[in-house]
Amino acid sequence: MNHTDEQSGSLPVRGERKRRRSKFLKNELRFIERGIPVFPIIKNEKAPLTKNGFKDATTELRQIKRWARRFPAANYGIPTGSASGFLVIDLDRKGGVDGVKGFEDLCHRLDIKIPKTYKIRTPSGGQHLFFVTKHAGLIRNSTGKLGPGIDV
């Protein structure tokens, strides 16, 4: 399966593929070094690039390198919920919506202190907040139920 470069509409040139692959592997290594399995997803989307999606997630470097060659423009995902114990809050900043500010305001109104946690900045300037909880499998995905730009 070949995916085109989103800006030019063509397949990325060799040097660009290598640069993207090394960035992909650098990001992947941060997780797999901690024993967290990963899988490739379509850039700027949450759709998996593998047949079985999150069930294909692995910490095996050889497989991840194969994915990096096959999907040079891919982003990566990690299994969430009961598959991993991770709960991820996705705070979007796009279309005039500021989920980061909305989440901070929500926590302030409910007198909830946001614990220190692993954060990733998203391409839109938003954030992914990662939490580990034994209850992750009980929490369902939602889009905007906690407020505009706040997804679980």
53 φ, ψ (degrees, to nearest 5): 55, -130
Residue type, 149: G
Q: Where are the domains of the chain?
A: 14-77, 86-151
Q: How many CA atoms lie within 13 A of 127 on its CB side?
A: 14
Q: Say how far apart CA 91 and CA 52 lie, in whole Å.
A: 26
Terminal Cα-to-Cα distance of the chain (whole angstroms): 29
Hey, what amino acid is at 27?
A: N
Burial state string for 4-16 with b = 16 or more CB within 10 A and e = fewer than 16: ebeeeeeebeeee
Per-position pLDDT tens, the chain of length 152: 333 333 333 344 445 555 555 565 676 788 888 888 999 999 878 799 999 999 999 999 999 989 989 998 888 888 988 888 889 999 999 999 999 999 999 999 999 998 999 898 887 899 999 998 888 878 888 888 999 999 99
Residue 16: what are its φ and ψ, rounded to 5°?
-65, -40
Distance CA 39, CA 77 (A): 5
Structural tokens at position 31 = 């997780």
pLDDT given at position 18: 55
pLDDT score recorded for residue 151: 92
Place of tokens 């470069």: 5
Task: Please give the pLDDT value at position 24.
Answer: 59
pLDDT value of position 60: 93
Tokens 């290598």 correspond to: 18
* pLDDT of res. 22: 56
